[in-house]
Amino acid sequence: MFKRSLALALALAAATLIVSGTSASYAYEAQLQTVLGKANFERRSTVVPMAVCEAEPCAKPTIYWSLVLIDGGVRYEVNQIFALGSRTQPSSIEIAGVRVNLGAQVEIEGRVQALGSDYALVSDVNKATILPDDVESNETPQVQQLFLPMAYGWTCLSQEERVPLQVHILYSGNQAGADRFEIHVGQIRSTSIKPVATALDAIQNVDEERIIFRGKGDSGVLQVLIDRTQERFNDLPAFLTMSKGDPGAFIVHDLRCDRTRF
């Protein structure tokens, strides 16, 4: 059952990403190109849609690792899952038959889709080459548009509860020139996720130290504050604040958050 839920979750995630990428107003069509950069392995987590949880026993989010090549200010993320279920960062991964070590200079060939001014997704990698550390790239894809918010979100888990909370933050669209987000809070049980609170019209505020999502939910105000002082997008400290019915009454939950691909 777990495998079935996980497979469906991954399939839905991939389908969402493909559909998002087809809009010409948000991203360029993926083209076969060669890119290179310094290899980094970044932690991600799978997303289990609520529809799956309501229909059958629900699988918990599962950690996996993503290969990201960093070339100057541009990040190329390979659209492939590595080390599924491992909490420990791998020292190496294998792609296109080549063993890639953490920190290696790597050149890969695949379909490159620009999703932002400094971010691109690489799919269908068919070739990988380890290069000397002093090699620099001469060409990069035309990565020109703004970051595509609908391709990414956040998945957070509470740290202290006996029955932990799961928080999903999803991009829901642009209204009057401002990006809007959904915040979904659920309680993880052995066979299901019980919805706790939802805010469907949250706003985002970003500064040098934190990212704040805040919205009025069905049971009060929800706020998620994520620390962005770390040079990574996984296992970030965060806090969920949930207001109660009485004025000034609220509950704070300690979270750890991962940037999640949808």
Predicted confidence at residue 59, as pLDDT, reads 63
State the pairing for strand pair 250-261/152-158.
antiparallel
Tokens 């991600």, located at residue:
44
Could you name the CATH architecture of 2-131? Beta Barrel (2.40)
Low-confidence ranges of the chain (pLDDT < 50): 1-29, 52, 139-148
**247 is written with which tokens?**
């004025």
Q: How does DSSP assign 174-221, residue by residue?
A: EETTEEEEEEEEEEE-SS-EEEEEEEEEEEEEE-SSEEEEEEEETTEE
Class of the domain covering 149-261 = mainly beta
Whole-model pTM: value is 0.52
- Residue 116's CB: how many other CB atoms inside 10 A? 20
d(CA 120, CA 219): 38
Predicted confidence at residue 51, as pLDDT, reads 52
Angle at alpha carbon of residue 92, lines to 89 and 96, rounded to 5°: 125
66 within 8 A of 83, measured Cβ to Cβ = no
Give the domain ranges of the chain: 2-131, 149-261
Residue 204's contacts (CB-CB under 8 Å, 6 or more residues apart) are: 179, 181, 211, 212, 213
Q: What are phi and psi of 60, to 5 degrees?
A: -75, 155
- Residue 56's CB: how many other CB atoms inside 10 A? 13
